[in-house]
Structure 1
Amino acid sequence: MYHFLIMLTIASTVGLQAWRTLFNNFAVETAGMEGSHIGMLQSVREIPGFLALLAVYILLLIKEYRLSALSIIFLGLGVAMTGLFPTYEGLIITTLIMSFGFHYYETTNQSLVLQYFDKKTSPHVFGKQRSIAAAANIGIGIFIFFISPLLNYTRIYLIIGVLVFAAGIWGFFQNPSDKHIIPQRKRMILRKKYLLFYFLTFMAGARRQIFVAFAVFLMVKKFNFSIREITLLFVLNNLINFFLSPLIGKGIIRFGEKKILTLEYASLIFIFSGYALVHSRLLVAALYILDHVFFNFSIAIRTYFQKIGDPKDIAPSMAAGFTINHIAAVALPCVGGLLWMVDYRIPFIAGACLSCISLAAVQKI
């Protein structure tokens, strides 16, 4: 199961990163999209994450590891088709296919790790996956950098999509299952004793959206970072995470989820406040790197659930958690964008306040 999930995680990372790297340029230069179209497409991309709960009912029909592989097949199909339909309607359809594949793989991956690896091993596995994903991000970035002058968007999307699709086909015919694993409940589960897990998951989603929607925008809009500088920061982030992510997993095992999450949210208070207050390009770049590092601490929320949850509830609870995490993805970018128009610092001050609330909540662990 470990090697099965590592292979599919590489495929998932390569597919999503290639799609994201090329998408804005492709949408503008080839498909002729405007800002309003891009905004709607990004909202559409989050819909499958919001519908992750439906994965529980798909498990009535197929085994969970097969759904993981099938998700990678859909991800590859969506990426491969992206360049073939350069219209607004076409991009909505291919984005949905790609996004369903990515989000359902993420849901099943989290669930399978918690089912197949014990409480002392799962943090290490999550950390290793983050490390491998960082390496894959760097690899696909270098590949696109060198191949983009030689091939058009359609062919690049097709090549990468077919490779991801092939990885999914490979996975579909593997059988990494263990008959001794505890069977999962095939229905929606919401329990009072998991309220803290649900709350922390929701807050992590809100924090992620502030980071994704506004951190890079701040660096470009206020500090005039060029695309080369943003790319350099991206590579640096992934290099750091390649080495650091396994250490985060070891830290969770050694110190426990409460201490790790306390460190994350205490640090985020200063990071979000820094975004709102600093006027130095060097400092905001440092905050961005630190923000990226602490983002990986969120795996402690999943391993916390593993310690408190009924082993039969893992699959439905990971699906519910993924949906809860994406509630913020629907509302926050729109609300934050309106607040930005009033004062760019407001979304970041809000992020610091959310971090204070999360810091208080993790003390209940």
Structure 2
Amino acid sequence: MRTVPLDEARRFPFWQRPAALLLLMAMAMPVAFATWSSLLNNFVIEVADFDGADIGLLHTIREIPGFLAVGVIALLMFIREQVLGLVALAMLGLATAVTAHFPELGGILTVTLLASIGFHYYETVNQSLQLQWIDKARAPQVLGWLLAAGSGATLVAYVLIVMTWERFELSYAFVYWLSGGFTALVALVCLVAYPQFEAPDPQLKTFVLRRRYWLYYALQFMSGARRQIFVVFAGFMMVERFGFEVHEVTGLFLVNLVANMVLAPVLGKVVSVFGERFALAFEYVGLILVFLAYGGVYWFGWGVMLAAALYVIDHLFFALALALKTYFQKIADPRDIAPTAAVAFTINHIAAVFLPVLLGLLWLASPGAVFLLAAGMAAVSLILALMIPRHPAPGNETIFAGGLPAPAE
């Protein structure tokens, strides 16, 4: 497979450029992952009789590969980033495809672990490639469009589920095979159809942990901690408390997708115009209010329509996470992007390894308390986000740096 410098590749027709490859991967990954997510709560409750503790354990297992994402650095000594990302994407697809063939706790945990290895290693490499291949000036907008493309591809899958699940009495096995097989096929096609794109700055293949990135690391840690509340318990609440069926959960996901397709490019423009500090502060203020309202659903008996609206609003705030990517892109040494992406993914998943199972036990006693804790996490994130300078750069990583030259480390 031939290697093409990034500058030369930009003269190719669009479908052969690095941006086209990023676009294809952005559309392929969520078809498997989002379909798995939309069916998961119904699958584990109806087929495996999960309770809150079981779902917490499942998501703890799912997050272990994220905690071990730093292993990407070792793999990059033997395999190119682009190849590793596509192999991991294919692994995600294949593991998703066979999920329904393992309907007991042990089998579900094993297949989930394999799918998670593919997902987290793909995401680690994909984030690195995005920041290396996309120009800084255009990064917020392009990242917004990539989010919108992923939402659009997933929208097609969800529409098919909503329209056909009851009418044709589809099985979990059929839907998992179709969505996972699609993702694996796209990954294999990309693996053979595209050359290897060579970024201008060779990436360090060693462990990188720099003091001047401390705020980025802290924000990643808090992002991973509060994300678990939404991923693990927000959807579980809709099924356990309000009795949502597969097509109803998927319909809720459809609303999320349409909103993301419309708003993600807009949010990318917001980050570009107003900066990362404003975007992240806005996100965390919104999340504080959303999580407090989630608690009210349990404590005060607020209804299903409010819970559904909160679910959609909560999901929309995830699009602003692109501001964290562009913040790092602006402060980073270009050679640090790949190893720091791996380190950041590990930091992001430290809390994810133990938090779901602990919160699963708390859920059995007081679901509202889980969301109150999440509001506290969002408040800590808000304090950290306010430490980002208006114009981050090497040597101006935080409001305390004072625009000094970036130290040698």
Fold equivalence (TM over 0.5): yes
Cα pair 1:113 1:125 within 8 Å, conserved: no
Residue 173 (structure 1) aligns with = 192
Residue 296 (structure 1) aligns with = 319
Q: Aligned equivalents of 2:364 and 2:105: distance in 1? A: 27
Q: Aligned equivalents of 1:52 and 1:284: distance in 2? A: 33
| Alignment partner of 2:88 out of 71, 81, 86 | 71
Q: Aligned equivalents of 2:100 and 2:307: distance in 1? A: 35
Residue 333 (structure 1) aligns with = 356
RMSD over equivalenced CA pairs, Å: 2.3
Residue 322 (structure 1) aligns with = 345
| Alignment partner of 1:226 out of 238, 244, 257 | 244
> What is the identity, as a one-letter code, of the residue corresponding to 1:57?
A
Q: CA deviation at 1:163?
A: 2.2
Structure 1 residues 305, 110: CA separation in 2 closer, same or farther (over 3 Å shift)?
same
**Identity of matched residues, %:** 41
| Alignment partner of 1:284 out of 307, 327, 337 | 307
Q: Aligned equivalents of 2:357 and 2:107: distance in 1? A: 24
| Alignment partner of 1:250 out of 257, 261, 269 | 269
Q: CA deviation at 1:37?
A: 5.3
| Alignment partner of 2:177 out of 150, 154, 158 | 158
> What is the identity, as a one-letter code, of the residue corresponding to 2:189?
W
Q: Aligned equivalents of 2:132 and 2:378: distance in 1? A: 30
Structure 1 residues 345, 154: CA separation in 2 closer, same or farther (over 3 Å shift)?
closer
- The answer to whether residue 156 in structure 2 is matched with residue 116 in structure 1 is no
Structure 1 residues 334, 185: CA separation in 2 closer, same or farther (over 3 Å shift)?
same
- The answer to whether residue 207 in structure 2 is matched with residue 192 in structure 1 is no
- The answer to whether residue 332 in structure 2 is matched with residue 309 in structure 1 is yes
TM-score by length of 2: 0.81
Note the 1:4-43 alignment, pairs <5 A. 4-27=21-44, 32=48, 34-35=50-51, 38-43=55-60
Q: Aligned equivalents of 2:44 and 2:222: distance in 1? A: 31
Structure 1 residues 38, 186: CA separation in 2 closer, same or farther (over 3 Å shift)?
same
Secondary structure of the corresponding residue to residue 212 of structure 2 = helix
Q: Structure 2: any 5+ residue segments left out of the alignment? A: 1-17, 389-409
Q: Aligned equivalents of 1:283 and 1:87: distance in 2? A: 34
Q: Aligned equivalents of 2:375 and 2:43: distance in 1? A: 35
Structure 1 residues 37, 358: CA separation in 2 closer, same or farther (over 3 Å shift)?
closer
Per residue, is there more helix in 1 or in 2?
A: 1
Cα pair 1:134 1:239 within 8 Å, conserved: yes
Q: Aligned equivalents of 1:168 and 1:86: distance in 2? A: 27
| Alignment partner of 2:377 out of 347, 354, 364 | 354
> What is the identity, as a one-letter code, of the residue corresponding to 1:274?
A
> What is the identity, as a one-letter code, of the residue corresponding to 1:4?
L
> What is the identity, as a one-letter code, of the residue corresponding to 2:360?
G
Q: CA deviation at 1:300?
A: 0.7
Q: Aligned equivalents of 1:78 and 1:43: distance in 2? A: 18
Q: Structure 1: any 5+ residue segments left out of the alignment? A: none
**Deviations 1:316-358, CA, capped at 9 Å, x for gaps:** 1111111111112122223323333443332222222222221
Secondary structure of the corresponding residue to residue 364 of structure 1 = coil
Q: CA deviation at 1:264?
A: 1.1
Residue 58 (structure 1) aligns with = 75
Cα pair 1:77 1:97 within 8 Å, conserved: no
Cα pair 1:79 1:98 within 8 Å, conserved: yes
> What is the identity, as a one-letter code, of the residue corresponding to 1:181?
P
**Deviations 1:213-249, CA, capped at 9 Å, x for gaps:** 3333444555x35335543322111111110001111
> What is the identity, as a one-letter code, of the residue corresponding to 1:245?
A
Q: Aligned equivalents of 1:267 and 1:258: distance in 2? A: 14
Larger displacement relative to structure 2 (243-252 or 229-238): 229-238
Q: Aligned equivalents of 1:199 and 1:302: distance in 2? A: 13
Structure 1 residues 110, 289: CA separation in 2 closer, same or farther (over 3 Å shift)?
same
**Deviations 1:145-187, CA, capped at 9 Å, x for gaps:** 4454365433433333332221111111244544352110111
Secondary structure of the corresponding residue to residue 184 of structure 1 = coil
Query: How many residue pairs align between the two structures?
Result: 363
TM-score by length of 1: 0.91
Residue 237 (structure 1) aligns with = 256
Cα pair 2:72 2:342 within 8 Å, conserved: yes
